[in-house]
C-alpha cells in the first residue's frame, strides 16, 4: 500500500506510511491527506522567486502558442517530472489563445486535473515554487505559424521560444521552412516590430530627440542636424525593425529581400503578420541572498 501511494502521489515513503496510518489504510483518504500537506507546502514556497524554468512551444498549422513555466532553479528545469508538466501545459496552450487564466483552468487529459491544481501538486512533490507566468498565441487565416526553440532541452522545450506568423496562400512546406528560419533570425536579433509603421511613435520620437541633442552638441547647423538625425533613424530602423534588418542567413540581404525570395518559392505573396519572442525569466528580478541568509533559511 505504501508503494502504491508513493507511485500515485510521488510523496516520500515515511510520509506515505504516516498518511496510511492516519487514515486507517484508506488509500483515497491518504491521497487527500498528502495533497493537503502538499497544498500547505506550496503555500510556504509561494513567495520564492522563480526565475528559471522552461519555455514551451506548440504548433498546429495556422496556429501556435508559447508558455513560460518558472521554477526556482535550473536543476528542477532539467527534472523529467517538471518537463512532463510543462509539455502537458504547452499542449493546452493553443486552446487558451494567449489567456493565461484560461490556461490555468484548463484540464490536463492525462490526469483530469486543472493546470493550476497540477502545478500545486508538483510543488509539493518537487519541493520548489513553480509558476505559470505567461502564454502567448498567434494565428493566421491562411498560411502558417512557424517556430523555433533555442537551447532545447526536450522536444518543444527550451530557454527561448519564437513564433512567426506568415499569411499566405502559398505552398505550406515552403512557408514553414522560411518561417523556421525567420523565427531563428528573430531569436538572434530581437526586433521591436515587423515594419517601420508598426513601431511605437513614442519610441521613434524619443530616438529622434536623442539623436538631435547629440548632433546639436557637436555644434552643427540645423540643416545638417536634420540630415544627421534622419541618417541615425535609418540606422535605428535597420537594427530594430524586422523587415529592415540584415538577414542572418545571408548578410548580403535584408529580411524583406529574403521574404520576397520566400514568396517566389511558395508561389504566392507572403506577409509577416506578427511575431512573438519569449525569453526565459526576462524582466524577473532575482534576489541575491548572502551566505548567512542561505544558512538561516536551511536552519529555519
Using 50, 70 and 90 to split pLDDT, how confident is the model at 35?
low
Lowest model confidence (mean pLDDT) among 27-41, 46-60, 105-119: 27-41
- The enclosing H or E element of 160 equals strand 160-167
Q: Is the pLDDT confidence value at 42 over 50?
A: no
Check residue 46 and give its pLDDT: 45
- 127-167 per-position pLDDT tens digit: 888 899 999 999 999 999 999 999 998 999 999 999 999 99
Using 50, 70 and 90 to split pLDDT, how confident is the model at 50?
low
Q: How many percent of the chain have pLDDT more than 70? A: 86
Using 50, 70 and 90 to split pLDDT, how confident is the model at 232?
confident
Calpha distance 104→116 (Å, rounded): 5
CB atoms within 10 A of CB 81: 12
- Full-model pTM: 0.76
Q: How many helices (H) and strands (E) does the chain have?
A: 12, 9
Question: Which residues lie closer than 8 Å to 286 by C-beta, 6 or more apart?
Answer: 49, 51
Calpha distance 158→49 (Å, rounded): 20
Q: Domains plus CATH for the chain?
A: 2-38 (1.10.8.10), 52-193+271-284 (3.30.479.20)
Calpha distance 259→294 (Å, rounded): 52
Lowest model confidence (mean pLDDT) among 1-15, 57-71, 101-115, 203-217: 1-15
Q: Which of 1-10, 28-37, 107-116, 261-270 has the highest mean pLDDT?
A: 261-270
Question: What's the mean pLDDT when you consider all of the chain?
Answer: 86
Beta bridge partners of 165: 145, 274
Calpha distance 171→127 (Å, rounded): 48
Terminal C-alpha separation, the chain: 33
Q: Which residue has the cell 527550451?
A: 158
Question: Which residues lie closer than 8 Å to 11 by C-beta, 6 or more apart?
Answer: 5, 19, 34, 37, 38, 124, 125
Using 50, 70 and 90 to split pLDDT, how confident is the model at 225?
confident
Amino acid at each position: 500500500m505504501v508503494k502504491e501511494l508513493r507511485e500515485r502521489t510521488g510523496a516520500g515513503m515515511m510520509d506515505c506510511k504516516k498518511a496510511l496510518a492516519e487514515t486507517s489504510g484508506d488509500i483515497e483518504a491518504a491521497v487527500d491527506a498528502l495533497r493537503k500537506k502538499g497544498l500547505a507546502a506550496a503555500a510556504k514556497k509561494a513567495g520564492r522567486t522563480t526565475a528559471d524554468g522552461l519555455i514551451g512551444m506548440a504548433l498546429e498549422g495556422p496556429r501556435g502558442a508559447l508558455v513560460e513555466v518558472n521554477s526556482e532553479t535550473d536543476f528542477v528545469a532539467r527534472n523529467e517530472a517538471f518537463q512532463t508538466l510543462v509539455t502537458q501545459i504547452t499542449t493546452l496552450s493553443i486552446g487558451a489563445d494567449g489567456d493565461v487564466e484560461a490556461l490555468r483552468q484548463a484540464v490536463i487529459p492525462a490526469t483530469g486535473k486543472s493546470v493550476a491544481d497540477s502545478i500545486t501538486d508538483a510543488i509539493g512533490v518537487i519541493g520548489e515554487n513553480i509558476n505559470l507566468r505567461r502564454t502567448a498565441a498567434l494565428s493566421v487565416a491562411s498560411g502558417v505559424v512557424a517556430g523555433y526553440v533555442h537551447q532545447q532541452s526536450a522536444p518543444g522545450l527550451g530557454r527561448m521560444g519564437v513564433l512567426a506568423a506568415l499569411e499566405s496562400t502559398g505552398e505550406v512546406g515552403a512557408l514553414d521552412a522560411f518561417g523556421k528560419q525567420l523565427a531563428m533570425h528573430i531569436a538572434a536579433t530581437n526586433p521591436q516590430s515587423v515594419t517601420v509603421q508598426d513601431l511605437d511613435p513614442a519610441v521613434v520620437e524619443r530616438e529622434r530627440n536623442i539623436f538631435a541633442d547629440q548632433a546639436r552638441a557637436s555644434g552643427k547647423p540645423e540643416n545638417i542636424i536634420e540630415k544627421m538625425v534622419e541618417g541615425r533613424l535609418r540606422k535605428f530602423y535597420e537594427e530594430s525593425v524586422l523587415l529592415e534588418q540584415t538577414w542572418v542567413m545571408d548578410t548580403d540581404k535584408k529580411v524583406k529581400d529574403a521574404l520576397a525570395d520566400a514568396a517566389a518559392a511558395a508561389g504566392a505573396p507572403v506577409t509577416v503578420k506578427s511575431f512573438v519572442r519569449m525569453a526565459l525569466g526576462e524582466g524577473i528580478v532575482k534576489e541575491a541572498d548572502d551566505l548567512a541568509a542561505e544558512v538561516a533559511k536551511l536552519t529555519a
